[in-house]
Amino acid sequence: MRGVGCIDSKAIVSSEFADASVGSVRRLLEAALSADGITEWKPGTAAIRLAAHEEPPEFDIQFEDMGFTSSDLTDRELSDVEAQSFTEAAIKENTLPEGVVAVVRGYITEDDNQDGDERKVFACVTLRIRAENDDAAETFRPPKGLLAAMADMMARNPDGGIDLALEGNWEVSVGSAELVGDSPIVTAESPYNGELCIRAAKEHGENSDPDHEVGDLQDYLRDMWKLLTPEQRDAYFKLDSVIDRLELGLSSEEFDSLYNEVGETQSLVKSS
């Protein structure tokens, strides 16, 4: 949870500070918070970020919608700078929807080899949200107006016109939920950047040539595995989709060995 605390001449902190000046109270508060590592201040306010474990983890998740245009919108995108600027303005104006942490990126793509003036396109917008897990992230539904506004930003022409008619359904891209690297359920002492590993593995899988060696991808997957706690590894092995894939590719002895290894590691952690 993020919050902003304000101290003014009408604020009553406690009876023992009732006669203290605003400056004195602010200095006391600043000293107390600085002792906890909170050093971000603005004139007249204290910007306080509470401990991360008090909040659900953050996920990047993509929403997509289909539409039509007579313009060439290929390669239109919402850059990182534009997304950050929009997010900062929305936070300042307190207009960011509940559950949404930030707008991350966006782009517009279209089907290949289309004839005629009307072209089918797809608008994709990635938001950073808070959710208990990836399943909850994929059931999250932000206001469609926010997503439509991002699509309009990408489709807007230099003259200010917008030649894009979307259906307005804005479905979640299945499997797109990605845990943000600094979220609390990622092992804090891990030397690996979880988000970077996930994106690199995804990029490798989507853009590599068919005959490309899989060694790099395996390295990325090993790095991601090191990010998981024993409890998370156990939960991963209990997913039906994972069990099905493993049973197809492993003998029963190999599968049982992997699963027992996770259980033994978890028991050691609990006993310690």
Q: Are 227 and 190 in contact (CB under 8 A)?
A: yes
Q: What is the pLDDT of residue 270?
A: 43
Q: Are 185 and 140 in contact (CB under 8 A)?
A: no
Q: What is the pLDDT of residue 146?
A: 95
Question: Could you give the CA distance from residue 185 to residue 188 in angstroms, rounded to a whole number?
Answer: 8
Q: What is the pLDDT of residues 133-168, one digit of tens each?
A: 888 999 999 999 999 999 999 999 888 899 999 999
User: Which of 172 and 117 is assigned the larger pLDDT?
Assistant: 172
- Residue 266 phi/psi, 5-degree rounding, is -65, -40
Q: What is the pLDDT of residue 110?
A: 84
Q: Is the pLDDT of residue 202 over 70?
A: no
**The pair of three-digit structure tokens given for residue 248, joined into one six-digit string:** 């197809």
Q: Collapse the DSSP code of 228 into the 3-class scheme (helix H, G, I; strand E, B; otherwise coil) and give the result.
A: coil
Sole residue written with tokens 């395996």: 218
Q: What is the pLDDT of residues 67-93, one digit of tens each?
A: 999 888 888 898 888 888 899 999 889
Pairing state of beta strands 119-130 and 58-69?
Answer: antiparallel
Q: How many CB atoms lie within 10 A of CB 71?
A: 15
pTM, full prediction: 0.50
Q: What is the pLDDT of residue 182?
A: 59
Q: What is the pLDDT of residue 191?
A: 41
Q: Is the pLDDT of residue 117 over 70?
A: yes
Q: What are the C-alpha distances in Å from 44 to residues 34, 51, 114? A: 16, 22, 57
Percent of the chain beyond pLDDT 70? 46
Q: What is the pLDDT of residues 10-41, one digit of tens each?
A: 444 444 444 544 455 455 555 555 555 545 54
Counting every residue, how long is the chain?
272
Question: Could you give the CA distance from residue 151 to residue 164 in angstroms, rounded to a whole number?
Answer: 9
Q: Give, to the nearest 10 degrees, the angle between helix 80-92 and helix 144-155.
A: 140
DSSP code of residue 162: B
